Structure 1
Amino acid sequence: MPPIFIAQNYLSAFSEGFEKHTRLYSLRPLPNSNPLTRMPKKTVRITPLRLFSLKNFRRSLSHENALPQLALLAILVGVITAFVMILFRSFIEVGADSLFGINSENFEMLDIVVRFLSPIIGATLIGVLLFRLPSNKRETGVAHVMSKLSEYQTRLPVINALVQFFAGGIALVAGLSGGREGPAIHLGATGASVLGSTLKLPYNSIRILVACGAAAAIASSFNTPIAGVIFAMEVVVMEYSIATFIPVIISAVTGAVLVRAVFGSVAAFTVPPVDLTGPTELPYIIAAGFVIGCFAALFVQLVELFARSKISSYWVRASIAGVLTGCVGLVIPQALGIGYDTVDLILAEQYTVSLLITFLVAKLVVTAGCVGLGIPLGVIGPSLVIGATLGALAGTVGGALMPASASPISLYVLLGMTAMMAAILQAPLFSLMAVLELTANPNIILPAMLIIVVATMTMSQVFRKKSVFTSRLSALGLGYPPAPMTQYLLRTGVESLMTRNFLVLDPETNINELRQALISHAVAGKPFPEWIIVESEPTGETSILRGEEALNASNSNFGSPPKLDEMPQLKRDLPHISVRSTLAEALWSLEQTESETLCVRELTNATVGPIVGVLSRRHIVNHSALTQGPPISP
């Protein structure tokens, strides 16, 4: 019988799948005289799988739709994020109370000298603590999380999270202008990343857990679970899929419930009942949206200008941010800190137009300065405050132009908050849901949708500005989000697609020894090996050939038996990849090495472990449906 038919018979005889429960597998010899097939009938008992082992748990997570496992992990991420948020907010509140005898928002109550010195001392302290760190260790906030998501392995370093926690907390206690939501997102995402790394989970699942941490952080910090979910999907991962949506929802709910149990569930702002007076105001709302979009573009431009400052010393940059904030605090103390208390005053119409204009300029410049110069603070909270100020000005002007038909100023305040945040973040749906949950007022939905569209398009289309986060990534030379096909491949781990049907042999093995190895492999009740891996122990060099090719060679060489390392069919210098990797990283590795096949290994930071699988380009292409006709044949 020709060797190729023997190969086909063996492939047919040994390619039966393993059942989940114990069963008997009977190997039957083929009716011919080849030595490989003269095997006694042997019965092999296959033991049940340990279905609930951590190894099987990791393996199941490598699949794209491992919802039960991800749901369980999402609960853990929500608990971890809530705990970190409670610590972070307590750090800020206790620090402000201990040092100044106020809560973290009432900087107007401080003495004028304290208002001037507090930001300077805080910023200088941050600069002194961090200036010896490498610049990559000082990267914090949402942009840092997104930059790590643009990498294949999604590892958020703990050192950056510690910098975010303590430096961000010091900055907020000292009154530097910025938000706590950006630090919260970084801390929540890092907690999720550390959990995944500790359990050695596949990287495709860690990406989803990072999104869960971001959602739980927004839900915990803002007390807005729906907005947390939308933020994670719209801003952080920039894609929507059921496999991501469900765990993110679970994590956001878990985090919000636990933080509400500690800090209560009161809405962030006190908003009187408001509604749009009539459709005649819609043209004016469109005009207001255009103006807010212009200010959003100005804010992003200022952040970029401060970030491009030629001052290289970090402690000098931080000190400049402190001096800038301190000088502003002398005149406009409301510009210190986040500014949520100022929003309540604006909603209550306790202001003058001159004060609003002065506060708007001060808050815009000082926040852009602090964020651009590297103070580890966020922009989400200040965007709400700046938007509220613009909305109050728009409402005041609208009341003067249309005294009989203008809506209450508080409605314009809410619309300004929504539009400004949507434009700066380029996240319209998140902004709409955030303001709706923060104010518990559904009457703003219709006009808010209109003003969000106008403000977002003004910034992105008229001024060609990206969001404040993607602008930062562009400055670092990173493209975000990844291409759609790359995003698709990032959802799946290599372990879900690789084959475990291989045989590892030494390069000194000759054809006769190969034949005996195949006999032993078959007698042990294992399927015919799809791949023969030739691994050199001293050098670590790995080569590969197909099982059918090895079988053909074993049946056609009966003279002086050549060694495996001498076979012309052998594909040498095989690349390898970690079993935790995604298909995107695997495809990149294949393209970089111009190979068609790679080995999947158990890899750690210190050692290169054993081979656990083989993955080919054909498997990835067929899985991702890159071809338009039928799948590529072997």
Structure 2
Amino acid sequence: MVLWTKLQQQKAALLMWIQRQETLIMVLLAVVIGVLAGYVALLLRFAIEWVSLFWTGERTWEEAFANTPWYIFLIAPTITGLLVGWIAVRFLPGGELRGVTGVLADMVERRGRIHPRQLGTETAGSALSIGGGASLGREGPTVALGALIASEIGHRLGMTEQQLRILIGCGVAAGIAASFNTPIAGALFALEVILADYAIATFSPIVIASVLATVIARSEVGNFPAFTVTEYHLISAWEIPAYIVMGAICGLVATVMIKSMAPTRKYLAGLIPDRRLRPAAVGFVIGVMGLMLPEIMSIGYGTVGSMLLEQINPHIMGLIVPLSLFLGVLLAGKLLATILCASGGFPGGLFGPALFMGATVGALFGDLAHNFSPSYSESYGAYALVASGALTAAALQAPLTVMLIVFEMTADYHIMLPLMAACSVATLVTRSFGRASVFTEALEERGIESHWSLEQSWMRAVPITRIPWRAIPRVSGHAKLGELKQVYTGSGKGCVQVVDDEGLMIGIVTFADLQNWLIDPALDEIVVAAEVANRNVAVISEEGSLLEAITVLDRETFEQMPVVAADNPRKVLGMLSRNAIFSTYHKMIVKHGEGERV
């Protein structure tokens, strides 16, 4: 017993030391998270290859199209659909959101606390789904796994919500960096999409985690870009308007993708109510589609690479067709397959499919443009590269991140001019239809507002004890109305607490409660305070936060609110005014909005 007490005391002392050495500890934890996330990204990548190898005999589906029996296209996604359906119902019975969407939801609703069981379900489910042919990507699950690791470490070390946010940003950045071999873009993705915070204290640990994850990934798979591309040239200034038009088209395709998710989920849920069978049914449909158009299966990065290098073999069901026709059918097929897989319960990411569809839009547009005006336009590979970034930027609502990803993958500065134009236009077009991205549309469907998660974390970090409250006069519930009036007018506080014999609150009296008793002075010696008191009083615990106080005041009209003891909601400690609450809020906005920004 003595040993256990000493261990608990040492743990408490360690946690206090961690809190005092915040900067050093955050950097050290960023190192740990970067290394772990890098290895987890490799684990998921290899797990997907192992599952693909089991079904097709090759590490990727693209390598196996010619030699894979037709029945594998039907069996693989159907059986893996049954497996992921069972995993989802068994380990995520509440239908929790997964991937990047789940990370964003937990940032808002659970203050960054992500359940550790999702570490296993995310890894196993994503490997089975993508390796089994589901038309999804690996980057989303990799990001979620990095965030899960960071959340678990931060929670076990007793980190505050703001510290936990930074650690999750480290895990997210590490996941993207390890997936694409792009450390700069990984850090920016975490800042732009997950945290929306560019404070120096936030930026430094995230960069460290991103760099280390990249080093880990390069040590195993080599220092190679995600895609090999040809040297880019801007043939004519007239191409810029063409890239702008193509960016608008990418924005429209991204909008269709985003807006189709919710109705498809609703339709599939009504058609197949059993969550265990829904992925299997969708998997069978994907398999049928794959027999006609095998390029839609799994991630499809091999096909993207062929588009960028202009090595596409345009054929549908064994028949050679014009390139434009093939690309148009491929775009429609990949879009439908991705929406079905994402809405039907398959775990996986939408980053990869967005790149695939963007490259397809660009190759189609570039082929038409080059055929129309070969002297004033580059060949379709260049358009595929730019459009892959534009559509992804629009789908993710993260243009800066995607620009950097493409730049780091190509190391070609000349691509930046058309890329910036196309990404900006595509993002604006998609945003004109709403602020939702492929990550946040499911949050909006559930009524979760992700855009305010950073501000909410700041407000939750401000305890009620830091907001000045004042004493409140009180009278006994047995006191006569005349005495109540004297206390009310003499205090000048605008309210009086009515208490019982034990000093606990019966209710609160304000002018609105008193005014009905002012007409007849004869009531002063007849009516007692307990009859006048308003017993329907909204209170806030001393353990509450600024966010909780503002939430209460947003739905109420009163100007003051009692602060009560944590162990007894009738024991009033003081009175909190609306003015004090919003004064604290404004000071917080100034501090975080100006003083801590880069």
TM-score (norm: length of structure 2): 0.75
> Matches of 1:393 and 1:590 in 2, distance apart?
55
Residue 59 of structure 2 corresponds to residue 103 of structure 1: yes
Kept in 2, the 8 Å contact 1:74–1:212? The answer is yes
| Aligned position for 1:348 | 309
Deviations 1:5-35 (A, max 9, x none): xxxxxxxxxxxxxxxxxxxxxxxxxxxxxxx
Equivalent AA in structure 2 for residue 55 of structure 1: L
CA distance in 1, matches of 2:464, 2:31: 24
Shift of 1:362: 1.0
Look up the match of 1:271: 229
What residue number does 1:436 align with?
Answer: 407
CA contact (8 A) 1:104 1:172 kept: no
Go from structure 1 to structure 2 and tell me whether the alpha carbon gap of 1:280 and 1:316 turns closer, same or farther (over 3 Å shift). Answer: same
Structure 1 residue ranges without an equivalent (≥5): 1-49, 500-538, 543-570, 602-607, 609-613, 630-634
Say yes or no: does 1:383 pair with 2:354. Answer: yes
Distance between the aligned counterparts of 1:439 and 1:450, measured in 2?
Answer: 17
Distance 1:472 1:591, change over 3 A: closer
Contact 1:177 1:370 in 2 (8 A): yes
CA deviations over 1:162-212 (Å, ceiling 9, x no partner): 221111110011111100111111111011110011112222211111111
Distance between the aligned counterparts of 1:261 and 1:619, measured in 2? 55
Identity of aligned residues (%): 30
Corresponding residue of 2:527: none
Q: What are the within-5 Å matches in structure 2 for residues 72-221 of structure 1? A: 72-105=28-61, 106-109=63-66, 110-151=68-109, 153-221=111-179
Matched, 1:317 2:273: no
> What does residue 327 of structure 1 align with?
288
2:415 maps to 1:447:
no
CA distance in 2, matches of 1:260, 1:289: 32
CA distance in structure 1 between the partners assigned to 2:388 and 2:436 by the alignment:
19
Task: Specify the SS of the correspondent of 1:577.
Answer: coil
Letter in 1 for 2:194: V
| Alignment check: 8 A CA contact 1:137 1:160 kept | no
| 8 Å Cα contact 2:467-2:584 kept in structure 1 | no
Q: Residue 12 of structure 1 corresponds to which residue in structure 2? A: none
* Contact 1:293 1:456 survives alignment (8 Å): yes
Distance 2:29 2:291 in 1: 48
Report if the CA contact (8 A) 2:173-2:210 is conserved. yes
Hey, what's the Cα distance between the residues in 1 that align with 2:263 and 2:213? 36
Q: Note the alpha carbon deviations across 1:299-354, whole angstroms, 9 max, x for none.
A: 12222222122232112321222012101110111111101000111122223412
In structure 2, do the counterparts of structure 1 residues 597 and 381 end up closer, same or farther at CA, with 3 Å as the change threshold?
same
Matched, 1:421 2:392: yes
Change (3 A) 1:497 1:255: farther
Question: Can you list the C-alpha shifts for 1:208-263, whole angstroms capped at 9, x where unaligned?
Answer: 11111111111111211111111111111223222211111111112111121122
CA contact (8 A) 1:78 1:255 kept: yes
Whole-Å separation in 1 of the counterparts to 2:114 and 2:150: 9
1:252 aligns with 2:252: no
- CA gap 1:108/1:148 in 2 versus in 1, 3 angstroms: same
Contact 1:290 1:455 in 2 (8 A): yes
- Contact conserved, 1:107 with 1:336, CA < 8 A, in 2? no
Q: Tell me the secondary structure at the aligned position of residue 376 of structure 2.
A: coil
Secondary structure of the residue aligned to 2:439 is helix
SS in 2 for 1:277: coil
Please give the per-residue CA displacement for 1:23-56, whole angstroms capped at 9, x wherever unaligned: xxxxxxxxxxxxxxxxxxxxxxxxxxx9x95232
More helix by share: 2
Q: Using a 3 Å threshold, how does the CA distance of structure 1 residues 591 and 389 change in structure 2: closer, same or farther? A: closer
Contact 1:421/1:431 (8 A) holds in 2 = yes
Larger radius of gyration: 1
Partners of 2:37 and 2:145 within 8 A in 1: yes
Show the 5 A alignment for 1:334-413. 334-351=295-312, 352=314, 353=323, 354-413=325-384
**Is the alpha carbon distance of 1:585 and 1:93 closer, same or farther for their aligned partners in structure 2, counting shifts above 3 Å?**
farther
Q: CA–CA distance in 1 between the matches of 2:220 and 2:102?
A: 29
Q: Give, as a single letter, the amino acid of the residue that structure 2 aligns with 1:89.
A: R
Residue 575 of structure 1, aligned match among 538, 541, 565: 541
Q: C-alpha distance in 2, partners of 1:55/1:494?
A: 19
1:55 aligns with 2:15: yes
Change (3 A) 1:190 1:576: farther
Three-state SS of the structure 2 residue aligned to 1:90 is helix
Instruction: Give deviations 1:437-493, integer Å, cap 9, x for gaps.
Output: 2233322111111011111111221x3362122211011111121177535435x46
1:464 aligns with 2:420: no
Amino acid corresponding to residue 442 of structure 2 in structure 1: R
- Output the CA distance in 2 between the equivalents of 1:209 and 1:222: 20
SS at match of 2:238: helix
- Corresponding residue for 1:70? 26
Distance (whole Å) between structure 2 residues aligned to residue 268 and residue 484 of structure 1: 32
- CA drift of 1:589 comes to 7.8
**How far apart in 2 are the matches of 1:436 and 1:265?**
15
SS at 1:217 equivalent: helix
Rounded to whole Å, the distance in 2 between the matches of 1:325 and 1:133 is 25
Cα distance change on mapping 1:251 and 1:484 into 2, 3 Å: closer
CA contact (8 A) 2:81 2:277 kept: no
CA distance in 1 between counterparts of 2:33 and 2:575 reads 31
Provide the rounded CA distance (Å) in 1 between the counterparts of 2:215 and 2:155.
Answer: 26
Deviation per CA, 1:573-594, whole angstroms, max 9, x where unpaired?
872438xxx7545765898997
1:620 deviates by 6.9
Deviation digits for residues 519-571 of structure 1 (CA, Å, limit 9, x no counterpart): xxxxxxxxxxxxxxxxxxxx9x99xxxxxxxxxxxxxxxxxxxxxxxxxxxx9
The alpha-carbon distance between structure 1 residues 447 and 323, as it changes in their structure 2 partners (threshold 3 A), is same
Kindly state the Cα deviation for residue 131 of structure 1 after the two structures are TM-superposed: 3.1
Determine if contact 2:15/2:157 at 8 Å carries over to the other structure.
no
**What is residue 305 of structure 1 aligned with on the other side?**
263
Q: Quick check: 203-212 or 436-445, which moved more?
A: 436-445
SS at match of 1:315: coil
Change over 3 Å in CA distance of 1:69–1:281 after alignment to 2: same
- How far the C-alpha of 1:600 sits from its partner, in A, is 8.5
Pair 1:193–1:583, CA change in 2 (3 A) = farther
- Bigger CA drift: 391-400 or 131-140? 131-140
Deviation at 1:269, TM superposition (A): 0.7
Aligned-residue RMSD, C-alpha: 3.4
Closer, same or farther: CA 591–304 of 1 in aligned 2, 3 Å:
closer
- Which structure 2 residues correspond to residues 550-589 of structure 1 after superposition, within 5 A? 575-577=541-543, 584=547
Contact 1:60 1:496 in 2 (8 A): no
**Correspondences of 1:473-488 after superposition (within 5 Å):** 473-482=443-452, 485-488=455-458
d(CA) in 2 for partners of 1:573, 1:596: 5
Q: In the alignment, is the contact (CA less than 8 A) between 1:178 and 1:378 conserved in 2?
A: yes
